[in-house]
Structure 1
C-alpha cells in the first residue's frame, strides 16, 4: 500500500468526515529514524501516533516488533480501541503495547525479584496499602534516638539500590536520624514479597545493569521501533533505563509529548526534567506538531510566551472562535466564582458552540488548599480519572476472585494463593490483564452489566488462565458458577459505588463547575478554564524559605514577553518558582476550547495596577475589576 492510499484510508477510519491530516502530521506519520515529536496541546498527537503504528505495521513491515509505551491504562485502552478502527484487532508477539510500569515489570522487574528473592512471588501493592505497611514496619525498627513521625513523603520519593555484590542501600532525601530505619523497613517489606512502583524500577535497574549486553542484543532482535508516548511524564530513572537498553544503531526510538507540560517532578527539590529535546539537538531530530485544533489564536497567542521556553511556532485553530482572555482583578475571593459564572452565562449568548459544548467549566489551582479558599464547600475530589481507576480496580478484583474460586473448586491449583494469581496476571500473564481491562471498560460503559459478548470474552480469558495451569491437557468446565459470581457481584458493586460517588459530586454539579488541581486536569479539554492565583514556596522549612505569587511571576509572560528566567538577574529561588509557575499556567491555560480566565488579587498588584491593566488591554485581555 503506497503512502497516499494509506493516508486516504486512515483518514476515513480515524478522522471526522471531510477532515484530513495536515502536512506536519503526515511528516510525523512517515518519519524515519529516531526523533523527538514535540506535540503542542490539541495538536492530534494520539491520532497521529495510532496512524504511525498502523503505517509501520501495514506498510513498512520489517519483521521485527513495534513497542509502544504509555503512562496510563486509559491511554493503552484508547490506543487499542482506535487500532481496531483501522482493522488491527490483535497486538501479539513480537509487538508490545503497555504502560511504562507494565513494560519494566514484564521484561525486567519480576525476573530480578525471582533472582534476588528466590522463594517468593512479588505482589504489587496500591500506594495506600504500602504506606500503611511502611508505618507498621517503621514502628518496629524505630530506635530510641528518633522520636518523630514516619517520614511518609521521603519514603515515597526514595529508592532501594541493589548492588552487584548483593548489598541493598537507600537513595533518598531522608535525614540521617531516620535513614537506617527507613531502609530496614523497606527491605523488610520487599523481602516478604510486597513491592511498590519505585521498587520495580530498582529491581529493573539491577537486572539491566547485570545483563546489559544480552538485553541490548535481545531487544534489538525483537523490536525495530520503540515509541514512548507522553515522554514528558517519564521519570529520570525510567528515561535512563530506556536509553540504556535501546541501541540507536538498531532501533528507531521516537518520543512523543509536550516538554512544556512536564509536571512529573515539579515539586522535587532539584526539579530536573528527564526529557529535554533542545538538549538532544544533533543526536535526535525534532519534529513539531505545532498547530492546535482545540482552540483559536486568542488562546494560542498567550501560550506562545507563557511557557518555560518561548513557543513562537505554536498556532491556534482559525476555525475555533475562542473569546478574548479575561483577567479578573478582585478584592474579595468570594466574588471570583460568581463573576466567572456570570461571564460564562453572558458569553453563551454570543457563541452557540460554546453554549452547546458538554465540556467542563473548570476552576484550576496549583494545590487543593488554594482551591478551598475560593469555594468553602469545595471538597478535595478523587477526580474522575482516579474514580474510574477505583471502580476498575474493584471490578478487576471481582474477576480475579471469580477465577480463583473456580480454579480451586475444580482442583486446578494446589499451592497457589489469590495473591499469587494476582501477581501472575501482572507478570507472566500480563496480556490477559490488558484483555480484562478492555472488558471492564465496556462493562463500566454498560453500567456494570456484562453483555453476552463480554461474557464470552471473560470465558476466553479464563480459558487462557486454565491453559497456564494445565498446558498439556484439555479441561472441560462448567463456567456458569464463575460467570454468575462475577456478573452478579460486579453489577451490585457498580450500583453501590456509583450511587455513593454521585452524592459526593452534588455540590459541584449543582453549580456546573469542576474544581481541580493542575495535575488533575492535565490531558483534559474544557470549554472554559479559570486559573486562580496561588502561592509558590521555595526552600520550605529552611531559613531561606521564600514565597511568591503565581500571577505576579507570570504576568509579563501572559502579555507577550518571554523573559529569560534562568539569567543571572534571577536568584535560584526566583528561577525555580518562575519555572513552576510557567508549567502550571501552560497546562491550565491550554485546557479550554473557548474561554481563558485568570484571577489575581488587587493588593498583589499594588502600584503596578495601572501598568498591568494598560499592558494587558493592549495585548488583547479583557479586564474585569471586581
Structure 2
C-alpha cells in the first residue's frame, strides 16, 4: 500500500512481482470496501493465466474475484469491452462481433461488394482486387481521425491509388458487419476515444490502473492506456521487466529512472547465479538473499553436438548426488534452443513439438459445423453429392445471418424465439430445394444441446510430451530447477557472453538475443549450463570465466562415467 502513485515498477526475475501485485490489489480492494468507495480498479494482464493467479490469490484472502465496478483481463478484452463494443452499439447499432484473424468469407464478401457498386468489372478483376483488399491493412490516420488503407499487398503505387477508395470502402464495410481481426481492437478503440466525453467516462470509471508484464503489452495498446489514464486523477502503474522483451521486432519499452521503482531482490536463485547474470545484463543489478544458494553456472565444452544432451543428464545426476535440496526440488530440468530445427541435432530423430494443448474449437464453430452438416446431409440425400451442395449453400450468402443467430443462441440457449429463427433459417434453405421442413423437436436440437452443455478438462486434451527440449520463448515466466542452453550456427548467445566478459570485440547483435540469454539464465533455481564448442574456447577465456563459472568438458564426463562403470 505504500506505493500508490503513478510509477513504472521494474521487477526482475524471482522478485515476487505477481505476489506483490496480488497483495497490493487485495489491500486496495479491502480499503475501498471499508470506506465505501465506488472507485474502479483496472488490472490489465498479458495472459488469462495471470488473471487466474490473481483471482486465486484474492479468493484465498477472502476478497473474492475481481467484479464490477472493477476489471481484470487482457488488454484486448479491456478495449473490446469498454471501447469497441460501445462504438459498434452507438455508431453501427449492433454488437455482433466475430474477432478472428481468419474469416473464410472475406474474399466472397469483397467480390460481392465490388459487383454491386462496380458492375462494369469483370469477374477476374473483382477477384484480383478482392484478394488485394484482404492483404491490405487498415491503420488509424491520426491527422484526419479516420481509418485508412496501406499498400501492404506489394501492388504498384499507381494501381493502388487508382483502386484505393473502393478497396477502403469494402474493407470498412466488412469490418462494420463485425468481422474483425485482433489488431482491429486498437483501431476501433482509437475511433471511439476521439470523443473526449467517452475518454473522460473511462478515465473517471477507473481510478487505479495496473498493467502487468508491460514489456509484452502491444505498443499501440500501451499508448492508448497512457492517453486515457496517465493523468493527475488516476494512479497508473506499469509492472514488468523490460529486459524480458523477447518478441522479435518489438521495441523495448523505455523507462524514466526518476519515475521508476525497482524490485531487484530475487528469491529464485543465489548469488552464484546472480553474479554472472549481472555480468550479462549489468543494468539489472539483481540482489539475492543470504540464505538462497545455487550452483555456480557451468560452461560445458564439447566437440560434437550429439555429446551435449547425454553430458547434461550426467551433470544433473552428479549434482543430485552432491545436494539433497537440488535432488528433492519439484522444478523441471529443460534444454533451451533458439531454433526448433536444432532439436534433432541434440536428440537423433526427435522433432520439436509445440508444448501447447491441442486447439479447442469454440462452441460457435462446433454449432456452425453441426448445422451445416445437417443441412448438407438432408439435401445431398435427395439432390446430388455433398460437395456440390456445400458449394450451392456457400453461394446463398447466408453465413452472416447464421453467425448472428448462433451468437444470440450461445447467449441464451433456452430462448424459444431464437430456436424458431434457426428453424426458419434452415427451412428457408430446404424450401429452395423442395426438402421437407423441420421444427424444434427435430433431433438436431438435441445435438445442439449436447454441444452447449459440453465442458472439457485442459489436462485431458493436452498432448503427452516426453521430451524436455523447448525454445527460450516457450519457457518465459517459468521457474526451472536447471537449464541447458545450446547455441549453434550464428552463435548469437555465445558472442554476447564472450563480449560481456570482455573477451571479444563488441558486435552488432540484436537486443532480442541479449534479452533471450538473460531470460534463459534467470529461469533457474539451482543450475545453469551453457554448452560451448571447444573451437570458441581458449585459455584466456578460461582464466576469466573460472572465477564464477565451473568449466566441464564432455570428454572428462564420459571418461569419469566409464571408470565408474568399470
Matched, 1:374 2:323: no
Match of 2:283 among 310, 331, 349: 310
Q: Secondary structure at the match of 1:272?
A: coil
Distance (whole Å) between structure 2 residues aligned to residue 300 and residue 112 of structure 1: 49
Q: Following TM superposition, by how much is the alpha carbon of 1:225 offset from its aligned partner in structure 2, in angstroms?
A: 0.6
Per-residue CA deviation, residues 134-192 of structure 1 (Å, 9 max, x unaligned), is 78889999999x99xx999x969x55336786864235766444995997696575355
Query: Which residue of structure 2 aligns with residue 613 of structure 1?
Result: 542
Spell out the pairing of 1:72-221 with structure 2 (5 A cutoff): 72-114=47-89, 117-118=92-93, 121-125=96-100, 127=101, 129-130=102-103, 159-161=138-140, 168-170=147-149, 175-177=154-156, 180=160, 190-208=175-193, 210-211=194-195, 213-221=196-204
Is the 1:553–1:578 contact (alpha carbons within 8 Å) kept by the matching residues of 2?
A: no
Matched, 1:255 2:197: no
Matched, 1:531 2:485: yes
Is the 1:123–1:423 contact (alpha carbons within 8 Å) kept by the matching residues of 2?
A: no
Residues 304 and 108 (structure 1 numbering): CA distance in 2 closer, same or farther, change over 3 Å?
A: same
Per-residue CA deviation, residues 394-442 of structure 1 (Å, 9 max, x unaligned), is 589789999xxxxxxxxxxxx98565665898xxx8xxxxxxxxxxxxx
Spell out the pairing of 1:448-459 with structure 2 (5 A cutoff): none
Distance (whole Å) between structure 1 residues aligned to residue 520 and residue 235 of structure 2: 33
The answer to which of 38-47 and 110-119 deviates more is 110-119
Spell out the pairing of 1:514-553 with structure 2 (5 A cutoff): 514-535=468-489, 548-553=490-495
Residues 395 and 168 (structure 1 numbering): CA distance in 2 closer, same or farther, change over 3 Å?
A: closer
**Normalization by structure 2: what TM-score?**
0.73
Is the 1:528–1:592 contact (alpha carbons within 8 Å) kept by the matching residues of 2?
A: yes
Distance (whole Å) between structure 2 residues aligned to residue 398 and residue 88 of structure 1: 37
Q: Following TM superposition, by how much is the alpha carbon of 1:525 offset from its aligned partner in structure 2, in angstroms?
A: 1.0
Is the 1:613–1:623 contact (alpha carbons within 8 Å) kept by the matching residues of 2?
A: no
Residues 495 and 556 (structure 1 numbering): CA distance in 2 closer, same or farther, change over 3 Å?
A: closer
Matched, 1:588 2:553: no
Distance (whole Å) between structure 1 residues aligned to residue 40 and residue 89 of structure 2: 27
Q: Following TM superposition, by how much is the alpha carbon of 1:77 offset from its aligned partner in structure 2, in angstroms?
A: 1.2
Per-residue CA deviation, residues 569-625 of structure 1 (Å, 9 max, x unaligned), is 96xxx44x241221110111111111101122233x2xx522222211123333325
User: Is there any run of 5+ residues in structure 1 with no aligned partner, and where?
Assistant: 1-28, 403-414, 430-461, 470-480, 509-513, 536-547, 564-568
Query: Which residue of structure 1 aligns with residue 297 of structure 2?
Result: 325
Matched, 1:599 2:531: yes
Distance (whole Å) between structure 2 residues aligned to residue 396 and residue 89 of structure 1: 30
Query: Which residue of structure 2 aligns with residue 497 of structure 1?
Result: 461
Distance (whole Å) between structure 2 residues aligned to residue 332 and residue 619 of structure 1: 25
Distance (whole Å) between structure 2 residues aligned to residue 593 and residue 420 of structure 1: 52
Distance (whole Å) between structure 1 residues aligned to residue 368 and residue 234 of structure 2: 37
Equivalent pairs, count: 479
Distance (whole Å) between structure 2 residues aligned to residue 190 and residue 112 of structure 1: 12
Q: Secondary structure at the match of 2:272?
A: helix
Match of 2:254 among 256, 276, 300: 276
Query: Which residue of structure 2 aligns with residue 287 of structure 1?
Result: 261
Distance (whole Å) between structure 1 residues aligned to residue 459 and residue 284 of structure 2: 47
Matched, 1:339 2:311: yes
Per-residue CA deviation, residues 215-235 of structure 1 (Å, 9 max, x unaligned), is 342133222210110111012
Measured on the aligned residues, the alpha-carbon RMSD in Å equals 4.3
Distance (whole Å) between structure 2 residues aligned to residue 380 and residue 423 of structure 1: 41
Residues 172 and 70 (structure 1 numbering): CA distance in 2 closer, same or farther, change over 3 Å?
A: farther
Distance (whole Å) between structure 2 residues aligned to residue 215 and residue 134 of structure 1: 31
Query: Which residue of structure 2 aligns with residue 485 of structure 1?
Result: 450
The answer to which of 589-598 and 610-619 deviates more is 610-619
User: Is there any run of 5+ residues in structure 2 with no aligned partner, and where?
Assistant: 115-122, 371-399, 419-445, 556-566
Residues 599 and 116 (structure 1 numbering): CA distance in 2 closer, same or farther, change over 3 Å?
A: farther
Per-residue CA deviation, residues 236-262 of structure 1 (Å, 9 max, x unaligned), is 101111111114200000111111101
Spell out the pairing of 1:319-468 with structure 2 (5 A cutoff): 319-383=291-355, 386-387=356-357, 390-391=359-360, 422=407
Q: Following TM superposition, by how much is the alpha carbon of 1:516 offset from its aligned partner in structure 2, in angstroms?
A: 1.4
Match of 2:211 among 205, 228, 236: 228
Distance (whole Å) between structure 2 residues aligned to residue 172 and residue 329 of structure 1: 50
Distance (whole Å) between structure 1 residues aligned to residue 312 and residue 246 of structure 2: 27
Is the 1:164–1:206 contact (alpha carbons within 8 Å) kept by the matching residues of 2?
A: no
Residues 496 and 33 (structure 1 numbering): CA distance in 2 closer, same or farther, change over 3 Å?
A: closer
Is the 1:398–1:486 contact (alpha carbons within 8 Å) kept by the matching residues of 2?
A: yes
Residues 423 and 376 (structure 1 numbering): CA distance in 2 closer, same or farther, change over 3 Å?
A: farther
Q: Following TM superposition, by how much is the alpha carbon of 1:72 offset from its aligned partner in structure 2, in angstroms?
A: 0.7
Query: Which residue of structure 1 aligns with residue 443 of structure 2?
Result: none
Residues 483 and 176 (structure 1 numbering): CA distance in 2 closer, same or farther, change over 3 Å?
A: closer
Query: Which residue of structure 1 aligns with residue 39 of structure 2?
Result: 64
Distance (whole Å) between structure 2 residues aligned to residue 581 and residue 319 of structure 1: 32
Q: Secondary structure at the match of 1:218?
A: helix
Per-residue CA deviation, residues 497-546 of structure 1 (Å, 9 max, x unaligned), is 35xx22xx24x1xxxxx2211221111111111111145xxxxxxxxxxx
Is the 1:69–1:228 contact (alpha carbons within 8 Å) kept by the matching residues of 2?
A: yes
Q: Following TM superposition, by how much is the alpha carbon of 1:293 offset from its aligned partner in structure 2, in angstroms?
A: 0.9
Is the 2:493–2:514 contact (alpha carbons within 8 Å) kept by the matching residues of 1?
A: no
Q: Following TM superposition, by how much is the alpha carbon of 1:354 offset from its aligned partner in structure 2, in angstroms?
A: 1.7
Per-residue CA deviation, residues 91-150 of structure 1 (Å, 9 max, x unaligned), is 33221111111001001122334456556722012x4x45x6678889999999x99xx9
Distance (whole Å) between structure 1 residues aligned to residue 455 and residue 288 of structure 2: 44
Residues 495 and 294 (structure 1 numbering): CA distance in 2 closer, same or farther, change over 3 Å?
A: closer
Is the 1:367–1:517 contact (alpha carbons within 8 Å) kept by the matching residues of 2?
A: yes
Match of 1:239 among 217, 222, 237: 222
